[in-house]
Structure 1
Amino acid sequence: MNVEALLQAIPPIAVYLLVGGVIGIESLGIPLPGEIALVSAALLSSRHTLDISPVGVAAAAAIGAIIGDTIGYSIGRRFGMSLFERLGNRFPKHFGPGHVALAKGLFERWGVWAVFFGRFIALLRIFAGPLAGAMRMRYPRFLAANATGAVVWAGGTTAVIYYAGIAAERWLSRFSWIALVLAVVIGIGATLLMREQTSRLIAQLEAENDWETLRRH
């Protein structure tokens, strides 16, 4: 199987649409591997044999994030916190009470900064838009934090991976596709690690809530 020929057959516009689509849907509140899609596309853009632009990748990711979060904000504002109760009943692994309580606690503590930094954190990347709307955060403030976070996250991630890919291509020569596989593996590992840390925080939060309930009774 000729990996190089397969990569060259992929139209750049398809890469941009895929990145923007995956990140946009993830920002709506649907758990998808947005970060892995961005990292993979950014690495592809570092290959001089392909026509994929790093600027195009970053722009697609930022636009997808902003649009997805805005739609998620509108949905959250329309249905309120009851939205998360329904989602929790259907998808307890992603929208369970512990997940919602942790995200809500971070929003109450950090406000718009939770929206900005939420783009860099797996849990908040899914919750940021809908939760900000449900908590009635003013839209201009949300939009400013959301857009800024999306541009910094998309641009910064793309730049780092792009230059890392160029360096890897110099060292690996014909076998530079290994870097793509390595990036995906690292991305998956980081995602799993973040989920494990989030689960621990949720378990700790639930234990504290149970203790508080027992103390009141």
Structure 2
Amino acid sequence: MENWIIDVMNSFGYIGIFILITLENVFPPIPSEVILTFGGFMTTTTNMSILGVIAISTFGSVAGAVILYSIGTLLDVERLEKIVERWGHILRLTEKDIHKANAWFNKFGSWAVFFGRLVPLIRSLISIPAGMAHMNVGRFLLLTTIGTIIWNTILVSAGAALGASWNDILGYFGTYSNIVYLILGVNLVIFMILFIRNRRKQ
């Protein structure tokens, strides 16, 4: 997949980045880390600019997020689980991925959209529970855009700074993702323990 992404970006430039980032948001297994860091590298070998790559990738991310938000407004958890059960092998998603995004949203509320945009996989899926909760569209777009700009700026700038060694950063993001998931898991366990204790006291 990485080679295909690179070929598309080399062939179509900004348009290729927009299409790939939009698809990455709708189909999370497409790695934004590859798209954005290689996009940053391309600013050192083509006439593309860092600001241009950040801008076009942000437009693509928000467009993809709006698509998933719209889908979320039509779904409930049970219906979503049935879709993943049937098509998850194609989308490369599991029910665990969906529950993780839903738990994130339930814990942080609308701010989960902002924080979620800074976590691989969650950054795409978080739009679905936001849609299911019928979160205010204006607030959704604002938090999505701000979180996306931060994420895109970090990765594009890193790709530009590393140059030909742009893919060195990909390994670090796997570690980063695992640490974030671990922290989220611990917080959820603590939340459940406190919730159960409060229920017992009542």
- What TM-score, normalized to structure 1? 0.69
User: Does 1:58 pair with 2:54?
Assistant: yes
- What secondary structure is seen at the aligned counterpart in 2 of 1:79? coil
Residues 149/198 of structure 1: CA separation in 2 closer, same or farther (3 Å cut): closer
Question: Which of residues 59, 63, 69 is equivalent to 2:65?
Answer: 69
Percent of matched pairs sharing the same residue: 24
- What secondary structure is seen at the aligned counterpart in 2 of 1:137? coil
Question: Which of residues 169, 172, 178 is equivalent to 1:190?
Answer: 172
RMSD over aligned Cα, in angstroms? Answer: 3.1
Contact persistence 2:36–2:159 (CA under 8 A) = no
Between the aligned partners of 2:54 and 2:14, the Cα distance in structure 1 is 9
**Partner of residue 153, structure 1:** 151
Question: Which of residues 46, 59, 62 is equivalent to 2:44?
Answer: 46
The alignment of Structure 1 onto Structure 2 pairs a total of residues equal to 181
Could you list the runs of 5+ residues in structure 2 that have no partner in the other structure?
A: 1-6, 197-202
**Partner of residue 116, structure 1:** 114
Contact persistence 1:65–1:150 (CA under 8 A) = yes
Contact persistence 1:40–1:183 (CA under 8 A) = yes
Deviation at 1:151, TM superposition (A): 2.0
Could you list the runs of 5+ residues in structure 1 that have no partner in the other structure?
A: 1-6, 166-178, 213-217
Deviation at 1:79, TM superposition (A): 2.4
Between the aligned partners of 2:138 and 2:107, the Cα distance in structure 1 is 19
- What secondary structure is seen at the aligned counterpart in 1 of 2:118? coil
Between the aligned partners of 1:91 and 1:191, the Cα distance in structure 2 is 23
Deviation at 1:196, TM superposition (A): 5.1
